[in-house]
Structure 1
Amino acid sequence: MDKALYIAMSGAKQNMLAQRAHANNLANINTTAFKEDFAQARAMPVFGEHHPSRAYALTERPGTNFEAGPLNQTGNPLDVAVKGDGWIAVQAADGSEAYTRAGDLQVDVNGQLRAGIGLPVLGNGGPIVLPPSATVEIGADGTVSVLPLGGGAVGLAAVDRIKLVNPDPDMIEKKEDGLLHMKGDEPPAVADPNIKLETGFLEGSNVNAVSSLTDILSLSRHYELQVKLMSQADQISQQTARLLQFS
């Protein structure tokens, strides 16, 4: 009974954590370029000086689903979507380099090019800052061009180029800020000139709503079963204790 109770207790806890992961995926179904998180659990032995029958359930986070989401046409010249594999480099809140596929870009009051999440977009020499301009265009290779105010017939002038990278998926991980970062002490990814952008489009979330909802319902039933097993194990333990009192 000790083993059954311990497995049921830890299993119920991990089911709750798994539901949280799937609920977060479902909540971000309309978030631009959101990448679905995986969730799974497995049985693990309890280490230490005790009877070896004890085991518990452990939730693992094997990674993130890096598959591309659908492309949605917006017609906004500052909206860009990465074609195929690749990422847009941004400056995270802690100053480090991070990566996203959310290409809903905008220019702030200081002329700095920012991603829709408010983080500076990185170029060849750091965050991209644009001069006062009447028009901003982003090329397929990430080149940012502007038509300066009062430029007349001078035409567009290239200011910078968005840093586009394509690191090995095994070398990047999704952190709590929702961005992709290089694992451990790995250096920032190098720019890849082969990555192309689609202007006027945004990538949607790659979460499958039906699959996520089905997983949540399934986990809810598993949680109920775990709780019932805990109750039954407790009842059997009490009955066994009463029998021992009469012996």
Structure 2
Amino acid sequence: MDRLVYTAMTGAKHVLEQQATNSHNLANATTNGFRAQLDSFRAVPVQNAEIPTRAFVVDSTVGADFSTGSMQMTGRELDVAVQGKGWLVVERPDGTEAYTRAGSLKLSENGVLQTQNGQNVLGDGGPITIPPDVSIAIAKDGTVSTVPNGNRPNAVQVVGRLKLVNPPEDNLVRADDGLFRTKDGAVPDADPAVGVAGGMLENSNVNVVESMVTMINLARQFEMQMKLLQNAENNETKASQLLSLS
């Protein structure tokens, strides 16, 4: 009974945690460039236990689904979608680099190219500044060009180039702010093979139907763990009654 309680108790706890992760994924089903979170659990024996038959559940791996989401045409000049593998590079408040697939960009009051959350988008030489009263075009290789409004199309000026990187996915970890960073703290070099599509956005890669089915399955698993705890309690009560009769 003691073994059953350990397994059911920790199993129920982590089912709740997995349900929270699944709910978080569903909440971001419409977030551009979002990567679904993944949880996996396994049973391990209790260390230093007097009886080595006790086991409990722990997180085995916690990662992200790096599959590509669908593309959506927007026609907005500051929207970009990374094609295939790769990441946009943004600057954290502490000056370090972070990586995102959310390509809905904006201009700050000073003309600095930023994400919708206010992080500066980095180019090959740092943040990219856009002059006022211009039309903006972003090429496939990330080159940001401007044309003064009212001028001829041949008055094109290149103001920078987006820094596009493609670090190994097994070296990426999601930070608390939702952005990705490298586990070892290394700063990857720009990858010329990474391209972007202007006027488009990448949707979240969360499968809503699959997530809803997962939510139902997790709810049933939690109920099963609760029933196991009830059975353990009933068995303990009956055993105590038999011992008292003897």
With structure 2 as the length reference, what TM-score do the two structures score? 0.94
1:149 to partner: Cα distance: 6.9
Residues 80-229 of structure 1: pairs in structure 2 closer than 5 A: 80-148=80-148, 155-185=155-185, 187-229=186-228
Q: In the alignment, what sits opposite 2:58?
A: 58
Q: Which moved more, 1:80-89 or 1:111-120?
A: 111-120
Unpaired segments ≥5 residues, structure 1: none
Is the Cα contact below 8 Å between 2:147 and 2:153 reproduced in 1? no
Q: Partners in 2 of 1:183 and 1:159 — Cα distance?
A: 32
Q: Deviations over 1:113-151 (max 9, x none)?
A: 001232110012222222323222211111112235787
Residues 7-26 of structure 1: pairs in structure 2 closer than 5 A: 7-26=7-26
The one-letter code matched in structure 2 to 1:210 is V
What secondary structure is seen at the aligned counterpart in 2 of 1:118?
coil
Identity of aligned residues (%): 41
1:188–1:12 distance in 2 versus 1, CA, 3 Å? same
Is the Cα contact below 8 Å between 1:132 and 1:149 reproduced in 2? no
Q: Partners in 2 of 1:136 and 1:167 — Cα distance?
A: 28
Q: In the alignment, what sits opposite 1:244?
A: 243
With structure 1 as the length reference, what TM-score do the two structures score? 0.94
The one-letter code matched in structure 2 to 1:147 is V
1:54 to partner: Cα distance: 0.8
Which protein is richer in strand relative to its size? Answer: 2
Q: Partners in 1 of 2:235 and 2:153 — Cα distance?
A: 87
Q: Deviations over 1:48-100 (max 9, x none)?
A: 24211110111333421111100000000110111111110001243320111
Q: Which moved more, 1:152-161 or 1:9-18?
A: 152-161
What secondary structure is seen at the aligned counterpart in 2 of 1:12?
helix
The one-letter code matched in structure 1 to 2:60 is E
Q: Partners in 1 of 2:8 and 2:125 — Cα distance?
A: 54
Size of the aligned set, in residue pairs, is: 246
What secondary structure is seen at the aligned counterpart in 1 of 2:72?
strand
1:29 to partner: Cα distance: 0.6
Q: Partners in 2 of 1:24 and 1:91 — Cα distance?
A: 25
The one-letter code matched in structure 1 to 2:232 is A
Q: In the alignment, what sits opposite 2:72?
A: 72
Q: Partners in 2 of 1:58 and 1:171 — Cα distance?
A: 22
Q: Deviations over 1:148-195 (max 9, x none)?
A: 57877771211111100011111112222111100133x111001121
Q: CA RMSD in A?
A: 1.7
1:28 to partner: Cα distance: 0.7
What secondary structure is seen at the aligned counterpart in 1 of 2:144?
strand
What secondary structure is seen at the aligned counterpart in 2 of 1:5?
helix
